[in-house]
């Protein structure tokens, strides 16, 4: 920003647990901020807004867990409107009698522009944070396998498409 600006952000989330194994939430986020007006050299700023709504259902059953998500986003700047949506599914398996854990994550996404991008929240390696940004049109798939050799030593393998 070339000059002082302003911004507002709001979020509302409704959580519900059906029982100890099934839960869900719906989240709405709205933000309005200023940014430099493109192509103008006299320090002009204009507001833009972003809206996102996300729903998630989580089911845990014995050694398995399932997380299904749907997300819609919208970006408005003057007369420019971009939109996008993403559907994702995560499946995890942790057998009680084996020192192994497996997580598979897949998402399908479509966005008109990078301005309405989505984040992929998937399992990753221990002490490593990586949340890929998804825009355009595509499919993201990742798998993580972790084997605990001892209480202090484990091997983790992650495979994902870019």
Look up residue 107 and give its two tokens.
């998402």
**Any long-range contacts for 57-63 (C-beta under 8 Å, 24+ apart)?**
57/22, 57/23, 57/24, 58/22, 58/23, 58/24, 59/21, 59/22, 60/20, 60/21, 60/22, 61/21, 62/96, 63/93, 63/94, 63/95, 63/96
DSSP 28-73: EEEEEEEEEPTT--S--EEEEEEEEEEEEEEEEETTEEEEEEEEEE
Q: Please write the tens of the pLDDT for every residue from 46-104.
A: 888 999 999 999 999 999 999 999 999 999 988 889 999 999 999 999 999 999 999 99
Q: Please write the tens of the pLDDT for every residue from 97-154.
A: 999 999 999 999 999 999 999 988 877 776 667 778 899 999 999 999 999 999 889 8
Angstrom CA distances, 3 to 6, 39, 44, 59, stand at: 10, 16, 8, 48
């Amino acid at each position: 920003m070339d000059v002082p600006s302003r911004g507002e952000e709001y979020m509302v989330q409704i959580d519900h647990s059906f029982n100890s194994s099934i839960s869900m939430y719906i989240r709405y986020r709205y933000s309005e901020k200023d940014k430099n007006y493109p192509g103008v050299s006299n320090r002009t700023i204009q507001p833009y807004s972003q809206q996102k709504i996300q729903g998630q259902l989580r089911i845990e059953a014995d050694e398995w867990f399932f997380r299904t998500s749907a997300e819609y986003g919208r970006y408005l700047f003057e007369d420019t409107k971009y939109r996008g949506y993403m559907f994702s599914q995560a499946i995890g398996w942790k057998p009680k009698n084996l020192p192994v854990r497996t997580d598979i994550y897949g998402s399908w996404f479509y966005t008109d522009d990078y301005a309405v991008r989505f984040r992929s929240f998937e399992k990753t390696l221990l002490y490593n944070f990586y949340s890929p940004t998804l825009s355009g049109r595509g499919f993201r798939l990742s798998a993580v396998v972790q084997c605990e050799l001892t209480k202090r030593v484990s091997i983790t393998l992650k495979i994902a498409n870019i």
